Amino acid sequence: MVRDGDHLILVTVCPEGNYEEGEIYDFSDPIIMKKYGVKRDPETLDIVNTTAMQKHIMVISKIYWGDAREKICEAIDKIPLSCLVIGNRGLSKLKRAILGSVSNYVVNNGSCPVTVVKQVEHEH
């Protein structure tokens, strides 16, 4: 999905915080991530760093605070995004009915193409 020279924008939505919308260019700096209260998965950082070097892309991390459904749709329009890949936490039917599915909301309300990646259960 990534071509040479593209921008890869990692969008994180935190449920609460006292910051305005944030934009971080050094997304792997643990001090900056701690300041914003964002935890990054080391495997994800490795994949992103490797892709950035191989494909000569710029990686930016944007942080929003509030309701994930609304903020992701806002990010699509505000950044703007040409496409979005979003994960699916794999909530049970009951939890999904009570909490609502963020990915389902974004697919139905986002203004760009959205690809949903389902969480894979690993066998032990």
**C-alpha to C-alpha distance for 48 and 105, rounded to whole angstroms:** 26
Three-state DSSP state, 101: coil
Residue 43 and residue 28: Cα distance in Å, rounded? 12
pTM, two decimals, is: 0.74
Q: What is the pLDDT of residues 58-85, one digit of tens each?
A: 888 888 888 889 999 999 999 999 999 9
With tokens 């924008």, the residue in question is 9
Q: What are 27-47's pLDDT values in tens digits?
A: 667 777 777 777 777 887 888
Tokens representing 124?
């032990």
Pair 73, 109: CB distance under 8 Å: yes
H or E stretch covering 37: none
Helix axes 68-78, 102-109, angle to 10 degrees: 40
On the question of pLDDT at 17 being above 60, the answer is yes
- Tokens 């959205």: give the residue: 114
